[in-house]
Chain A
């Protein structure tokens, strides 16, 4: 089965260890390689990108490494691809360099 990894038990996202396709069932591993969850992914995502492990309402924290890495900008469903399209940073807004085009005003 395809795998993803969580870095801390508090995390609500997991990082894909292989490329994932919509509908794939994924085993979510802890850092000690225990299977902590199984879930179906709703979207395709490349290796190293993140999938939501639970529903995350808009404005709620995205947690990875047991720490806040940003906030949901829309309601994120369990299994959704989590990236710049649905997360905002408290520390640094998206730049042209990060987006590949000018940010919307």
Chain B
């Protein structure tokens, strides 16, 4: 099975050919935005953790080296703690063009913006000369994620996405799921799917560590709320089993590490992988992108009006009203399951077909709106150290 993609010099394959303008800290954001403004194919992003947050560097390098990215312009004020040169070196090592615009060094901000725009324009025009070629599906990495969940998510959207996940793995490609907090209460079910004892231990630690992070006395969160109960969810186990259903049923091949100094890449062998990290939508998607995801399939009951700067999103809803009201935002209708008119298997196959179409260039609803959201989660090394977790 194949899709039409862009083959990169490091052998990986992209589904988009984006020129990324990334302000390494938010001081450089306005300049970075002006460098990309009005240039089709260029997207400007930053994060808001400031210039001392060196923990975001592996995520920055991960998204910049993602195969959906053609080339990168790194924008720095010049005094950031996150040094751009080592980042540029790692990006260049994948064969991508990379350019650093140092505003303090150039002195004139307008001149810096002009140089940045010139670099972006040169990359965009080189990118236009590259063409999609048939690529084996084995090089595809699909992320799965849910959010804005309601009672339909665990019955329609997530189980249908689970069917898609199995189809992707069976076709020889890879699926990655993040959000360990959503697996609290379903860890035994996931652990049973581990390919070996070491992965089984990793899965239990993946969930257990996240539970510790959110259970600090005085700052603990409710893993299940009143709205869940009103929607028909009876126990935490039920809620979590519904959420992890988007992972499908194939063995869990590994748990990818996310540490302050490392975002582990999805490895080459086909299979289903878990990833450490946060469950909050856009930050989670950025982690998936940083690990090499090409496309993210997103389940939502209530709907969601966003895209992601690195990965096109295939948004799936199981709620008939959300599908009817938010058709400008939703890509796949899974509400036929709720109406009893279509099987979960059939919806899953439609999602799989949509993923392949998007991989070959079909524009998603989020992209058609021009939405390229981006955000980075900062793993706090102080919390990791205080809780004695592996991330420290």
Query: Are B234 and A50 in touch, CB under 8 angstroms?
Result: yes
A3 to B339, CA, bound (A): 8
1/0 contact string of A9-38 vs chain B (CB within 8 Å): 000000111000000000101011100000
Is A58's CB within 8 Å of the partner chain B? no
Is B79's CB within 8 Å of the partner chain A? no
Is B232's CB within 8 Å of the partner chain A? yes
A97 to B222, CA, bound (A): 8
Find A33's partner among B151, B235, B242, B340 (CB 8 Å cutoff): B340
Q: How large is the interface on A (under 10, 10 to 19, 20 to 34, 35 or more residues)?
A: 35 or more
Nearest-CB residue, chain A, relative to B341: A33
Is B241's CB within 8 Å of the partner chain A? yes
Chain A residues positioned under 8 Å from B237 (CB to CB) = 67-70, 89-91
Nearest-CB residue, chain A, relative to B348: A31
Query: Are A98 and B184 in touch, CB under 8 angstroms?
Result: no
> Taking the nearest CB of chain B, how far is it from the CB of A32, in angstroms?
5
Is B181's CB within 8 Å of the partner chain A? no
Query: Are A89 and B236 in touch, CB under 8 angstroms?
Result: yes
Query: Are A98 and B226 in touch, CB under 8 angstroms?
Result: yes
A70 to B241, CA, bound (A): 12
Query: Are B229 and A98 in touch, CB under 8 angstroms?
Result: yes
Query: Are A67 and B234 in touch, CB under 8 angstroms?
Result: no
Chain B residues positioned under 8 Å from A98 (CB to CB) = 222, 224-226, 228-229
A69 to B275, CA, bound (A): 24
- Most chain A CB inside 10 Å of its own CB: which residue of B150, B224, B231: B224
A7 to B318, CA, bound (A): 15
> Taking the nearest CB of chain A, how far is it from the CB of B243, in angstroms?
11
Is A54's CB within 8 Å of the partner chain B? no
A-B contact sample (11 more), CB < 8 A, given A89-B235, A99-B226: A33-B340, A48-B231, A49-B232, A64-B241, A67-B189, A69-B237, A82-B234, A87-B234, A89-B234, A90-B237, A95-B224
Q: Could you jot down 11 A-B contacts, CB within 8 Å? A: A17-B338, A17-B339, A31-B344, A31-B345, A47-B232, A48-B232, A69-B237, A89-B235, A91-B184, A91-B235, A99-B226
Using a CB–CB distance below 8 Å, which chain A residues touch chain B?
A: 3, 5, 7, 15-17, 27, 29, 31-33, 46-50, 62, 64-65, 67-70, 82-84, 87-92, 95, 97-100
Nearest 6 CB-CB pairs, A to B? A48-B151, A48-B232, A89-B235, A49-B232, A69-B238, A31-B344
